Structure 1
Amino acid sequence: MAVELVYFTGRKGGTESYARRLFGALGELPDAGVELVGIAGRELRAAPPSWFPGEIVHLPVAGESRPQWAAAVALAVGPRARALRADLLHCPANFGPVLHVLPTVVTVHDLLPLRHPEWVPGGRAAAVRRLQRRTLAVADRIIADSAATAADIEAVGGRAAADVDVVPLGAPPVSASVSAGVRRPATAGRPFVLAGGNRMPHKNFARLIEAWALIPAGERPLLVVTGSHGADPLVDEVRRHGLAADVDLRGWVDAAELADLYATASAYVFPTLFEGFGLPVLEAMAAGCPVLASDLPVLHEAGGDAMETFDPASAPGIAAAVRRLVANPARQAELRAAGLRRAAELTWRRAAEQTVASYRRAAAARTP
């Protein structure tokens, strides 16, 4: 079975976490009966992934280039998979071939291009929508991270519910120190709240910074925001609100630094306006970090009742929620415990088992 990995560069956040965790777990299933070969771009030639349980072949394209990746996944990956004599293709990053070459499963993390094209950056919105619709039409089966995304696939993507498998994502393993309740002092030198993600509009970081300005200076924790490459567009927002001493735009961090931030933060705040699942919620919970998140149905699928919520459209509401939680260590402890219980309920092993079941349905649908 072939897996599209052209998109994987090591710098794309959630969709790459999905691949690392899912295929790592799939390789550990004792009776999966799946032999994998990855079809990657130039980036993985330079840094072969230890987490992928199979051979890697390469296309002469750069996954870092969105146009090159889109062209490869639309037109080149399917024929290459067929040339490798693969009996199935899994495209794990929202998009897949525009022509049916072999049985194909596509994981759709969200339908942002169709639901909110105004949030797709640059002049790519129309092209991305076309590729998304064609992907949905061609795939034999579609994996959705959540019931909310599955409903979108039916409502705006045009596929029947019977063609979609809902496979919730998993939480990373809980470390022994987190299980033992060990917490370290904040490495920032003062209490801080962590946030992270790309800088697309739906991540709602401008409103989060606005909310920070509403917290009285004497109560205001440091806000550490990770996830940006290069020049951070939030710099101007921080300057406009006079928060240079209170907001640390940390940029892209590696896994070790992120783990340290989770381990020392007073809370993780997730002010998003739209998600396909909300993997950072589970990652924070598994790290023993209390979670404050937008009151969205899809985030309740991920976090259950193990988090505090707020209206993401209200800067005063966000500010009030942060103030309450930062001032209440007992509630922080309750949320840590509840978050660890929730993280234990959603595992990557279960996600891998359900994904293999989807593969089998796709293959069976094409068997004469």
Structure 2
Amino acid sequence: MRAADPAGLRLTLFVNREAAASDGPWTEIPSVVVPVRATNRLEWVRGEQQLLPGLAARAGCDIVHSLASTAPLRGRFVRVTTIHDLNYAKVPDTHFGLRGLGMRALVPAAARRSHRVIVDAASTVEDLVTELGTPREKIDVIPLGVRPPNAGRAVTKAATLRAQLGLGDRRVLLSASAKRPHKNLLRLLDAHALLPPATRPVLILPGYPTPHEADLRARATALGTLADVRLVGWVGNAEMEGLYAVADAFVFPSLYEGFGLPVLEAMARGVPVACADRSSLPEVAGDAALLFDPENVSAMRDALVRLLGDTALCARLTAAGRTRAQEFSWARTADLTLGVYRRALAQRPA
């Protein structure tokens, strides 16, 4: 980013080869291509640590804002880094192998070297202070925004999804997340199995596949509920909008989140929500979701029973959820981020 004048800021985006070749919002903003493949982790690190400092200097950047928890460790510009979570420390199964090693080295270094650190939720402030010793006074909390429902996007029809997934006219319980152990889907399967078979909804689990999916399938098989579960892979925007539309309720049992955007996405679409009472989720959900202890299967089951059976509660959560989601806009996120840039520039040595 380059400072232009006291009234505003000029932006320069640094994008990888894949982004440069695709159609995205960066096509409307001056951009510089960093000649690396983002799908290769080693190239990503080389681009950020070796190439980006020189490219930013040639572009005349006063600030470099890194959006994905790591940042270039050299360069004469002011650094702002968004650290979305400390998954690598709190739930190590999220990052493994070279990626895990890189996160354990680069995230703490970015927190130390940055003039300002942005986090999505106040709970991550405490994680940074406790785990990394980051000074509290240099951390800014800026919540993410949520996409408004059906904002000019295609939606897969309910009849199409019901036919594709073999749902018939059954009720649907939706839980969207990566298939990782800390997402706590094994306990969700246990809680789902405790619901009465005659009224048990179909549990749909969309999310990119991982080796953990085999554990989920094995657990559902052992519980005798595999016919009531749909382990769906990665779905596009139209399909995801369609899944929210057919869902009677949304559950998010994760043990650790830096934010928990799916909770707000469900709320914005009028789906009543139950979620874990851990990390960032209570501050994101407010009083618009039913909270439960994610390590207590009986408590999770009780929350599902209420969510699926108490029509007055569902009506209240639906209304409260829509109101809550409206508080989280990308325009607000952008305005708060500009304020951080200005504070960061003010910290620059004269």
Range of TM-score over shorter length: 0.7 to 0.9
Query: Secondary structure at 1:274's aligned position in 2?
Result: coil
Q: Distance in 1 between the 2:337 and 2:13 partners?
A: 16
37-46 or 350-359, which deviates more: 37-46
Distance 2:262 2:203 in 1: 16
4+ runs of 1 displaced by more than 4 Å?
Answer: 174-177
- 1:296 to 2:278 alignment: yes
> Structure 1 65/315 Cα, relative in aligned 2: closer, same or farther at 3 Å?
farther
Structure 1's 228 and 235: CA in aligned 2 closer, same or farther, altered over 3 A? Answer: farther
CA contact under 8 A between 1:169 and 1:351: conserved in structure 2? Answer: yes
Deviation at 1:285, TM superposition (A): 0.8
Where do 1:124-203 residues align within 5 Å? 124-174=99-149, 187=162, 188-189=167-168, 190-203=170-183
Given that 1:38 and 1:54 are in contact with CA atoms closer than 8 Å, whether structure 2 keeps it comes out as: yes
Residues 193, 224 of structure 1: 8 Å contact kept: yes
1:26 is matched with none
1:310-334: CA deviations, max 9, x gaps? 1111222212211221122332221
Aligned-partner SS, 2:291? strand
1:195-216 Cα distance to aligned partner (Å, 9 max, x none): 1111222111122112222222
Q: Is 1:365 aligned with 2:338?
A: no
* Identity score, percent: 37
One-letter code of the match for 1:94? S
C-alpha separation between the residues in 2 aligned to 1:163 and 1:68?
A: 30
**Aligned residue in 1 for 2:334:** 352
In the superposition, relative to structure 1, how do residues 294 and 32 fare at CA in structure 2: closer, same or farther (>3 Å)?
farther
Q: What CA distance in whole angstroms lies between the structure 1 residues aligned with 2:151 and 2:71?
A: 39
The worse-fitting range, judged by mean Cα deviation, of 46-55 and 156-165 is 46-55
* CA-based RMSD: 2.5
Aligned to 1:18: none
Distance 1:230 1:131, change over 3 A: closer
Q: 2:238 aligns to what?
A: 256
After superposition, the Cα gap between the structure-2 partners of 1:126 and 1:297, relative to the gap in structure 1 and judged at 3 Å, is closer
Q: Contact 1:32/1:356 (CA < 8 Å) preserved in 2?
A: no
Q: Which residue of 2 aligns with 1:227?
A: 207
**Higher Rg:** 2
Q: In the alignment, is the contact (CA less than 8 A) between 2:91 and 2:182 conserved in 1?
A: no
* Structure 2 CA distance for aligned equivalents of residues 319 and 140 of structure 1: 45
Deviations 1:32-83 (Å, cap 9, x if unpaired)?
7232222122221331313664123322322122332233223322322222
Q: Is the 8 A contact 1:219 1:323 kept in 2?
A: no
Q: Distance in 2 between matches of 1:125 and 1:217?
A: 41
Of 355-364 and 312-321, more deviation after overlay is shown by 312-321
Q: Secondary structure at the match of 2:12?
A: strand
Instruction: Assess, with a 3 A threshold, how the Cα gap between structure 1 residues 335 and 155 changes in structure 2: closer, same or farther.
Output: same
- Structure 1, 269-278 or 55-64: larger mean CA deviation: 55-64
Specify the alignment match of 2:289 in structure 1.
307
Letter in 2 for 1:217: P
Report the counterpart of residue 315 of structure 2 in structure 1.
333
In structure 2, the residue matched to 1:57 is 32
Counterpart of 2:300 (choices 308, 318, 321) is: 318
1:307 to partner: Cα distance: 0.4
Identify if the C-alpha distance between structure 1 residues 91 and 176 changes in structure 2 by more than 3 Å, giving closer, same or farther: closer
User: Where does the alignment leave 5 or more consecutive residues of structure 1 unmatched?
Assistant: 3-30, 178-183
Query: What are the Cα deviations for residues 158-210 of structure 1, in whole angstroms up to 9, with x where unaligned?
Result: 22111111112222225599xxxxxx788433211111111222111122112
Q: Which residue of 2 aligns with 1:75?
A: 50
Question: Match of 1:10?
Answer: none
Within 1, Cα distance between the matches of 2:279 and 2:173? 23
Match of 2:85 in 1: 110
Structure 2 CA distance for aligned equivalents of residues 301 and 230 of structure 1: 29
Structure 2: where are the runs of 5+ without partners? 153-157
Counterpart contact for 1:121–1:200, Cα < 8 Å: no
Count of residue correspondences: 335
Aligned in 2, Cα 1:75/1:174: closer, same or farther, shift over 3 Å? same
Higher relative contact order (CA 8 A, sep 6+): 1
Pair 72,238 (structure 1): closer, same or farther in 2 beyond 3 Å:
farther
